[in-house]
Amino acid sequence: MPKKTLPETPVRGARKPVSPTLRRSRPAALPARPVAYRGDNLYLDGVSLASLARQHGTPLYVYSAQQIKDRLQLFQQAFRGRAHTVCYAVKANSSLALLRMLGEMGAGFDIVSGGELERVRKACRPALARVVFSGVGKQEWEIDAALKAGILLFNVESEAELAVLARRAKALKRRARFALRVNPDVFAETHPYISTGLREHKFGIDITLARAIYRKAARSPWLEPAGVSVHIGSQIRKVEPFAAALDRVVQLVHELRADGLDIRYIDAGGGLGIEYTGEAFDARRQVEQYAAALGRALDGVAAGSPVAAGLPEQTHLLLEPGRFIVAQAGVLLTRVLFVKQNGAKTFVVTDAAMNDLIRPALYQAHHEILPVRKRPGSKGLVADVVGPVCESGDFFARDRDLASVKAGDLLVLLDAGAYGMTQSSNYNTRVRPAEVLVQGREAQVIRRRETLRDLFGPELLA
């Protein structure tokens, strides 16, 4: 199967590969997002973004609680006819406040570190029983912590990890329930950095080797083969690759059950994509199509399925959405410092930078950029939107059509709720932003802005 290298969000109709950050964009279509203009001022749900900037400063992450709840419920409703748990991918946005809100709605959690396990414990202790632990490099202390916490499932990614899991389970006298994360060798059209389903990727175990590994593991008194897991990548907009991967998983599950193994969990992973550009996006329809595609694979009726029969009704489906739930619920609010002319080139310099939101630099990712206050009748401009960090890669957009802006104006970067704050850093000794959660007309600080004292706290002078 030929490999492709694509930007995170492929550009429709492009004659050659073009990073969407370089593409001039039409004004954002807002209905899929919680932001809207009231008159000339931009609001997130019932709260003025300008008022939040005055109260809390910039850069500032702002999230809509209602949209996050709505997105989780889309999954819960679409799969309501099938035993399932939505295990939110903590890496997308690990705010304790958001985790508590999702946990109280019945969500489980997909974690990839001992730190994320501790976040779930602090946010919603009862949800520990709904945790799946993924990741290629679990350390012994992390495995121990998860065994003691009584998590639902370890998604194991190598035979070496399985041996460590058995050893630690024996030492703690706690049987470890596990699924192998199999690699189905399914290509998904997405950025190569977030594609995970091919043989050359570091993730998972070759699906053709899995049956023998399960048979061997079943002989251990400390290992309980309970599921099969798959995850083929992130920001995938077509449902067919998910169905193709699950077809292969279902075939493996039939084989494992024929071997006498009680495989009762199928973890379909996450990766369902959103629309970052100004194109129309129907989140409900996307989830319903996804649910239908997975359902056909699980029932053995997908086109070209190698399986003649579906799985028993008691099979429990695990889903790991992250970006789809939180991305469009969040925005990054920033203030313009300068508008700089450099020959024929215009730069809009903001107080937010790549350390606050690295996605454009890392993935060539596109984020729509809007003024918080519109100036009707003013002439727009074409500019690069950049930050103060000393890197040429410190940009949010290049050659972007923007509304007219001047120093002191507020801009908002849309769809920043996923992989924004969780990938932020203190590069250039910059403090990370505060985070605010909006619920209706109320706004609550859920993470205060860092201080320089916070940054220097762990350091020691010789």
Residues catalogued as catalytic: 390
Packed helices 159-172 and 140-149: angle between N→C axes, nearest 10 degrees: 50
Q: Pairing relation of β-strands 84-89 and 153-156?
A: unpaired
Question: Is the C-alpha dihedral spanning 275, 277, 281, 283 positive or negative?
Answer: positive
Which tokens sit at 28? 């954002």
Which tokens sit at 399? 């050659």
Rounded Cα gap, residues 182 and 234, in angstroms: 16
Question: C-alpha angle 123/128/435, rounded to 5°?
Answer: 25
Q: Write phi, then psi, for 179 (nearest 5 degrees).
A: -125, 145
CA proximity to 98, closest of 416, 438, 402? 438
Rounded Cα gap, residues 408 and 335, in angstroms: 6
Rounded Cα gap, residues 311 and 342, in angstroms: 63
Rounded Cα gap, residues 408 and 30, in angstroms: 24
- Max distance between CA atoms of the chain, in angstroms, equals 74
